[in-house]
Amino acid sequence: MAIAYRKQVDSDTEFALWKIEEKATDLYSQLQLNEQEKAYFDQLRLGKRNLHWLGVRVLLRTMLNTNEYIDCKIDSHGKPYLVSIPYHISLSHSFDYAAVMISKSRPVGIDIEQIQGKVERIADKFMRPAELSFIDPDKRINQLYVGWCAKEAVYKCYGQKEVSFLDNILIQPFTFESAGSVKAQLRKDQINLDYQVDYMLYGDYMIGYVKG
């Protein structure tokens, strides 16, 4: 399977989706892994978790268009980074898709989520009453997923732990369309950052992505 969707966000930033239809062995064969990575993979349970781990790395390799070993590590805050390539990256996955965002110049964040009604049950865990107040009842599920994906994308772009979706990442009122943008702010202690998060509906998935 090749890249399912690719978008050039600006001159040095893009993201892509990979529909994971391969078996784990097929994805594994496309990668060069060091001994530590092989050991980590061997500890993963069979199923979606190992397919996701492999899928984002195959997609990253494809986007970087290289057959060389890619040293991709995770920092102390859980943010992925490339050791030998001066690009910013963000990784995400949900059910049958892997997503990767790359920028040559700025931190980035991406989130992909399969749309399911269960988001209703946790809406008040990540959206403030003021944010829930502008949700359109006729588009409630999709709009809640935009809220989640936007906050997750900002969280990944910022790249630090101990940030609350409910208390520290705020989104401004917006009208849901199949593709659009939402303004978001990260407020924590002395940190005051503004973001414009773009989003798009892709089949039964929602995608949110942002540049720092």
Distance of CA 51 to the CA centre of its chain: 16
Q: What is the pLDDT of residues 129-167, one digit of tens each?
A: 999 999 999 999 999 999 999 999 999 999 999 999 999
pLDDT of res. 67: 86
Asked if the model's pLDDT at residue 46 lies above 80, the reply is: no
* Number of helices (H), then strands (E), in the chain: 6, 11
pLDDT of res. 200: 98
Q: Which residues contact 44 (CB under 8 A, 6 or more apart)?
A: 50, 53
Helix (H) or strand (E) holding 188: strand 179-188
Helix (H) or strand (E) holding 36: helix 35-43
Asked if the model's pLDDT at residue 35 lies above 70, the reply is: yes
Boundaries of CATH 3.90.470.20 in the chain?
Answer: 3-111
Structure tokens, 151? 């906050």
**20-24, 41-45, 143-147: lowest mean pLDDT where?**
41-45
Q: What is the pLDDT of residues 82-101, one digit of tens each?
A: 999 999 999 999 999 999 99
HSE-CB for 180 with a 13 A CA cutoff: 12
Across 4-24, average pLDDT: 97
Q: What is the pLDDT of residues 47-80, one digit of tens each?
A: 788 999 999 999 999 999 998 899 999 999 999 9
Whole-model pTM: value is 0.96
Give the CATH number of domain 3-111: 3.90.470.20
Asked if the model's pLDDT at residue 170 lies above 90, the reply is: yes
User: Residue 184: phi, psi to the nearest 5?
Assistant: -135, 155
The length of the chain, given as a count of residues: 212
pLDDT of res. 45: 73
Mean pLDDT, the chain, integer: 96
